[in-house]
Amino acid sequence: MDDFALACPKCGAASTAQTPPAQQYQPPAYQPPAYQAPQYQTPQYQQYQQKPPVYQPPYQYQQENSNPVQNDLSLFGWYAAVLKKYADFSGRARRKEYWMFYLCNMIIMFIPYIFYFAGYMQIVNYDEPGVLFYISSILLGIYGLAIFIPSIAVVVRRLHDVGKSGGYFFVTFIPFVGGIWLLVLLATAGTIGPNQYGNDPKGYLNNNFPNY
C-alpha cells in the first residue's frame, strides 16, 4: 500500500484517493541585518568670539594728560611752558623741561653777550665803553631779572621730581662741592610714579596707582 493511502473508517477498505504528500515547512533563511557603522561627527567647537586681553605693562605711559607741559614740545614750547608757571614752586618738572629751558636761555642770551663782549673790547682798547656795551648790559640785566623767579621755580620743581625738597637748592652755596651736587640732582631721572610732590610728569602710573 502506498504510504499515503487512506482506509475508510466504516468498512476499513482502502481508499484509492491519493493524498499529496505534506509539504515540509522551510523557515525563511535568516538574513542578518546589514551592519551600518556609526558615522563619526567631528564636534563643533565654538569659536572664541572675544579677543584675548592685551597685556598691559606695569609702567604704561598715559597718553591722555591734561598738562600740556608733558607732551612733546618744541624748544621754545618748553621755554614758554616754564614761563607759564612763572612763580609755581609746587609740582614736578622732568629733566627735559628743565634742560630745554636752560638751553633756550643760553640761545636768547647769546646775541646780547656778543654785543656786551664787543663793548668790553672797546673799554680795553680805548679806555671808554661803547654804546653797545650799555645797550647789551641793560638788556641782559632786564632779561636776568625777568627770568630769575621762573628759573628758581623750575629748579625747585626739578628737585621735587627726584624726591628732594626745594631746600636742596641752597647746596649750591657749599664751596667746591655744592654746585656739582646740585648739577647731579638736576641731571638725575625722576622717581617713577607719583610721589609726595605730585604726579609723575611723564605720566607713569598716575591713573593705575593714584595712592602710590
The answer to whether residue 24 is domain-embedded is no
142, 179 Cβ separation under 8 angstroms: no
Structurally, how many domains does the chain consist of?
1
Residue 35 grid cell: 551592519
The answer to whether residue 144 is domain-embedded is yes
Instruction: Report the sign of the C-alpha dihedral through residues 182, 187, 189, 194, in that order.
Output: positive
The answer to whether residue 112 is domain-embedded is yes
pLDDT, one tens digit per residue, over 151-186 is 999 999 999 999 999 999 999 999 989 999 999 999
Q: Is the model's pLDDT at 69 over the cut of 70? A: no
Least confident range from 62-71, 122-131, 138-147: namely 62-71
pLDDT, one tens digit per residue, over 72-86 is 678 888 999 999 999
The answer to whether residue 50 is domain-embedded is no
Range of the domain at 100: 68-158
For residues 107-115, give the mean pLDDT. Answer: 88
Q: How confident is the model at residue 57 (pLDDT cuts 50, 70, 90)?
A: low
The answer to whether residue 130 is domain-embedded is yes
Residue 59 grid cell: 609702567
Residue 18 bridge partners (DSSP):
5
The answer to whether residue 78 is domain-embedded is yes
Burial letters 123-145, b for 16+ CB under 10 A, else e: eeeeeeebebbeebbebeeeeee
Note the pLDDT of residue 207.
52
The answer to whether residue 202 is domain-embedded is no
Note the pLDDT of residue 205.
59
The answer to whether residue 113 is domain-embedded is yes
Q: What is the mean pLDDT of the chain?
A: 77
Residue 198 bridge partners (DSSP):
195
